[in-house]
Each structure stands twice: as C-alpha cells, then as structure tokens.
Amino acid sequence: MGSTSAENHGTEGVGRRDLIKRSAALGLISVPTMSFLSACASSGGNGSGDKAKAGKKTAKNPLGVNDTAGMEFVLFDGGFGKEYAEDAVKIYEQNFPKAKVKFSATQKIQSTLQPRFNQGTPPDLIDNSGAEQMDMGVLVGKNQLTDLTPLLDAPSYDDPGKKVRDTLRPGIVEMGQFDGEKVWILYYAYTVYGVWYSQKALDSLDEQYPETWDQMLAVCEKAKKKGMAGWTYAGKYPYYIPFSLYPMIGKVGGREVLDAIDNLEPNAWKHPAVKACFDAYYELYKKGYVLRGTPGLDHIQSQTAWAQGKALFIPNGSWVENESANVIPKDFGLAVSAPTGLDSSDKLPFGTIWASGGEPFIVPSKAKNAEGGMEQLRIMLSEASSKNFTGKVKSLTAYNGGTDGIALTPGLKSGVAALDKAGENVVNPRLQDWYVQLQKEKIGVSGLGEMMAGRLTPAEAIKKIQAYADEVAKDDSIKHYKHQ
C-alpha cells in the first residue's frame, strides 16, 4: 500500500516547505512513496547485542565500516518491490567481500521488528513503510534512532568532492528532522499524491479533468450513466483518502488550515474549509458515485477495480504505477491530477498538490553495525542505484538526478507535469509522520472510512476526528511536534 510514509519535520516548517515548493518548481519531482510490506527478519549480525567495532576510515570507506562485520537490512515489501534494494546489497557485498549481509523483505514491519527494538536487537537498516509502519514520532521520542548526519556529511558515492547532502532533492534533509538539526530519517523515494485516472476513460466520456466540484459531480454522473463509478479508494485503509482530501482542504482554506491540523490546534478540524471538503466527498457517497463495495476493498483490490475501468478516479500516491503495473492496460493513459477544488473562491489555485519524500529509511540507535546501515544508504544514493530504482519502479529517488537516458513512464511523466503546474503550490501535511496512529486508525478508519461508507455524516465525522486530535494534544506521553 502506500505507506503513509513518514517524513519528518525540519527546523523550519516554512523553510522546509519553501524547499519542497522550490523542488517542485524545478520539476524535480515525481514519485512514489510507499507501499505495503512482506518478509521476515531475525536478528543477524555479530552475536548477541555487541556493536561491531568501527573500521578504518579511508577515501573508499568514509564512514569507517568494519569490513568483516555482518549487516542486516529489512525492507518493506511493497509497491516498489525488493529488486532495487537487492541490487544495492550486491554492491555492498562487492565492496566488503568479507561481510555477510542478511537481507529480508516483509509487509509486517511493526510486528516483525517492534519486539526486536524492545529486545535491543534491531537490524542495521530498515525501510519503515507500509500499513505496519512503526510510529516515527515514538521512535524519535524514545531515542531509538541513529542520527544520520554522518551519512549526510560523508562524501557522495560518485563524487568525493560533494557531500551526500549536496546530492539530494530540496526538502529531503529537512523532512528527516523532527525538532532540531539531527536527521533521523532518509526518505528514499519522492512521491506525488493526488487523484489518479485513465486519460483514455476520461476521453471516452468526452471530458477534461474537473477543476471545480460541480464539474466533478457532472463527470461522475456521466460516468455513472455509462456504468462506471466515479470513485473508488482503499476502503480497508481509508487513510488513502487524505492523499487528495488534504491538499483539497489546503486549496480551499489555505496552507494555514493544514498547519493548524498538524499542530493539533483546538478546533482546527472545525474550520469551514474542512467542513466544505468533507461535505463534497460525502456527496460522492450520497449520489452513488463511489464503486459499490469499496469500503470492503483493500488497496490492491481497489486499484485493480479502477485499472479494470470500474471506477474513474482513485486517491493514491505515485507508487501506484508500479504496484498496479500487472493490471493497468497498455493503452490506459495513466495520469495524475491535483485535487479538484470547490470553486473560484478557493484560497489557492487549481494545481495545488501534495508531494513529498517517501519510503523512510532508518538506522536504529541499537544497530550492531550502524556504519554499515548508513553505507548501504550511501550506495543507494549513488547515480547508478538511483537510475536503477527509477528504471525499475517508475519513481524518482531523493537523489537529485539519475533520470538521464531513462524513458519516463506515463505516470511519472504525468507526475512531473502536475508538479510543474503546481509550481509554488505544493503542500506537505505532516500528520501522517508525526502522529501515525491518529492519522491511520482514528482519522482514516474511524472518521473518514465511516463517513465514506455512509455511517457518519460529515458533521459527526468532524466532531469525532476533532475529539481524537484533542486527546492526542492532551496526552503528555506522546511527543508533540509543530510547524516552526
């Protein structure tokens, strides 16, 4: 699934956002983010709980990796598959032929790895993504992660004259911060979130992508008459709905509405823009424009129904192109758009979209071979590994480049075009990074999921979600983060 990946907050909310906007304006971006997970891990490495002795720092080994120490890497087995990571592991093994690497991929990141964090025997590198993503805010708050600054300050893999941090897309470093200068997460992918559709299906209705909600309802009505639903979504994981709903709220009410929600401000969810957008989405349910049975579908089932032409629109991230590659027809014309707004009174123009780093990689503080985990990331941030990822999974990476000579796929091309159109109007809500459980289970499943299934009215859903947010705001056991 698309993990609602995590990103994490920089020292300056606005500064970070400006970087993201700038990267979007430069067309730097498009890409998938997370996905859902699958594999098995067990403790590997060097015996029980002993840290590997650091190796000697050299030009070829700037992080001082112990060249005989084992290294364990657990990947989320989701929309990007595992081949790109396996390829990067081979390079690690070539560079350190005496080191044994234990690589595994799983969809069950939390249930597999949380016990190992508790026992003090975590792997050395983890792609913490998917439905079972561990809560980043909790991991940072409990000092369970390694500061990745040494990796960022190390010479880049291709050019010793450049630091790793100087090769990354704007905003990636800041997204790995929570409160302060330390960087806890390295987002490897770059994702465009929005409303995904088939250009062929839209053409068959003789329609353009709708820019106002009245136009959206008219397009859905036309589709319905042709036996096609307007929308479907991951009913079992309704936290996919925010991929288009949150940027719509930002478009209608301005960025400050999303910031207030992220900051857990009292009554943030009661803002008129939130109510207007909830009402709009509820109308899709009331008018029968949502594919019948959607609340019971998971991410794969909903994407498959959509790819088969049973529904026109689906909220998703750019990983969907790879995750659904086996079901999307060749002539589908995969495209993504920024969310439809309400009308001309919206605060931000049509084109306002959510884009951000995805696929969060972490090195645990109790890793036996933290240097090895960071070195594996340094290899992945090389031009060759980045190109390999983009070529194989139809997504950009955090590495700023790596697309020369690669033919962009339809979804990737459309994502780049959507970012060009957005220009400065790229939003990046942080709730899914800062408060994973609130975002996924409370807002997603108990709030939006229930509303879109017709079991709550928008007013009831807002009241419920505001109460959940207030609970988190008052809970001193939860570390709180704010836009600076």
Q: Is the pLDDT at 43 greater than 50, yes or no?
A: no
Which element (helix H / strand E) includes 163? none
Residue carrying the six token digits 């409160």: 179
When pLDDT is averaged across residues 145-155 and rounded to a whole number, the result is 98
Q: Which of 331, 310, 305 is nearest to 320 (CA)?
A: 305
44 has pLDDT over 50: no
**How many Cβ atoms are within 10 Å of 40's Cβ, its own excluded?**
11
Q: What is the pLDDT of residues 181-204, one digit of tens each?
A: 899 999 999 889 999 999 999 999
Cβ–Cβ under 8 Å, residues 187 and 359: yes
pLDDT digits 0-9 by tens, 314-364: 999 998 998 999 999 999 999 999 999 999 999 999 999 998 888 999 999
Comma-separated ranges of CATH 3.40.190.10 domains in the chain: 13-191+356-427, 193-354+430-474
- In CATH terms, 193-354+430-474 corresponds, of 1.10.3720.10, 3.40.190.10, 2.60.40.10, 1.10.10.10, to 3.40.190.10
pLDDT at 45: 39
Greater confidence, 10 or 410? Answer: 410
pLDDT at 127: 98
**Whole-prediction pTM value?**
0.74
Q: 3-class DSSP state for residue 86?
A: helix
Tell me the range of 76-80, 156-160, 409-413, 426-430 where mean pLDDT is highest.
156-160
pLDDT higher for 264 or 50?
Answer: 264
53 alpha carbon, distance to own chain's centre: 34
Whether domain 13-191+356-427 has CATH 3.40.50.1240: no
Short-list 371, 373, 394, 397, CA closest to 385: 397
30 phi and psi angles, rounded to 5 deg? -175, 145
